[in-house]
Amino acid sequence: MKSFSNLYIFIFSSIMVIIVAAVLSVIAIQLKPHQDMNIKLEAMQNILTSVRVESNKKNAEELFKKYITDGYVVNPEGEKLQGVIAFDVDLKKEVAKIDKIKKYESQIQERRESPFKNYISGFINFKTVDKKTINSMIDKANFQRQLPVFVCEKEREIYYVIPLWGKGLWGPIWGYIALESDLNTVYGAVFDHKSETPGLGAEIKEAWFQEDFKGKKIFKDGQFQSIEVAKGGTDDLNKYAVDAISGGTITSKGLEDMLYDCLVSYRTFFETQRN
């Protein structure tokens, strides 16, 4: 076997790394527009599916322009935000904001339950976390939130499509839910996932599961209720629950949480829009 000097090994590996990096960056930049287009087309197709419009990759853009007449972003107070495009909102970041708010809320809860522990931790952190600051932090986080809404007009009916984002078992799950003009009845829903177990959690993207959501309601006697993904099944008469996937409990639960967390922020918007 030939022997190589250390210098040769260093030079060899440096050149190799530079070549590899260059090749990969060029390819990544070249393919990026295609990949982004795929993601955007998929989102369009999903939105169209939620309002029961069949589409394929080729006509998605055209149909989207035809049916989705408006798209805007609101804040939790239901006010429209200017200068933000509904399509550009990064839902992942939005959901991170929800998690942040939840964390603050649990801090308040903890304060109430164990004032002593709070005193100690406040002492160690040199931070006085009193209820007022936490509340103002919640308000601040809430204020920054962006809630996209897509408005669809089909056969003289108005539908509102709300994008969803949450956690499954192995990775993110997301979807779109279309509400009828009463902003209560579900017109259609579509879900997708990154890496749920095929045949189990992955079934959320199958039609039989999504079909169940049609006609369900999210408000009960004027109160926000969301839709439960019920383990052990439910019947058609129950307007607030759908059948969970057997063997896909954690994904089902994640989907239920996703529906609640994403929709609850729109509560005020729904109410003002309805009047």
Partner 1 sequence: MGDREPLFSTKNIKLLKEPLGTNNPITVQVLGICSALAITVKLKPSIVMAISVVAVTAFSNVIISLLRNYIPPRIRIIVQLTVIATMVILVDQILKAFAYDVSKQLSVFVGLIITNCIIMGRLEAFALGNRPWPSFLDGVGNGAGYGIILIIVAFFRELLGSGTIYGYPVLEKIGLYKTGYVNNGLMILPPMALITVGIIIWVQRSKNQDLIETH
Q: Is residue 13 close enough to count as binding partner 1 by CB under 8 A?
A: yes
Which of 188, 201 has the CB closer to partner 1?
201
Which of 59, 107 has the CB closer to partner 1?
59
Q: Is residue 194 close enough to count as binding partner 1 by CB under 8 A?
A: yes
Q: Are 69 and 159 in contact (CB under 8 A)?
A: no
Q: Is residue 92 close enough to count as binding partner 1 by CB under 8 A?
A: no
Going residue by residue from 239 to 268, which x/- string records binding to partner 1, judged by CB under 8 A?
A: --------x---------------------
How far, CA to CA in Å, does 241 sit from each of 40, 136, 177, 198, 259?
31, 35, 15, 23, 12
Q: Is residue 200 close enough to count as binding partner 1 by CB under 8 A?
A: yes
Q: Least CB distance from residue 87 to partner 1, whole Å?
A: 18
Q: Is residue 9 close enough to count as binding partner 1 by CB under 8 A?
A: yes
d(CA 264, CA 219): 10
Q: Are 94 and 265 in contact (CB under 8 A)?
A: no
Q: Least CB distance from residue 48 to partner 1, whole Å?
A: 16
Q: Least CB distance from residue 90 to partner 1, whole Å?
A: 19
Stretch that binds partner 1, among 37-45, 59-67, 80-88, 157-165 (CB under 8 A): 37-45
Using CB under 8 A, pick the residue from 14, 17, 65, 92 that binds partner 1. 17
Q: Is residue 1 close enough to count as binding partner 1 by CB under 8 A?
A: yes
Stretch that binds partner 1, among 38-46, 64-72, 78-86, 100-108 (CB under 8 A): 38-46
Going residue by residue from 153 to 192, which x/- string records binding to partner 1, judged by CB under 8 A?
A: ------------------x---------------------
Binding site for partner 1 (CB under 8 A): 1-2, 4, 8-9, 12-13, 16-17, 20, 23-24, 27-28, 31, 34-35, 38-39, 42, 171, 194-195, 197-200, 247
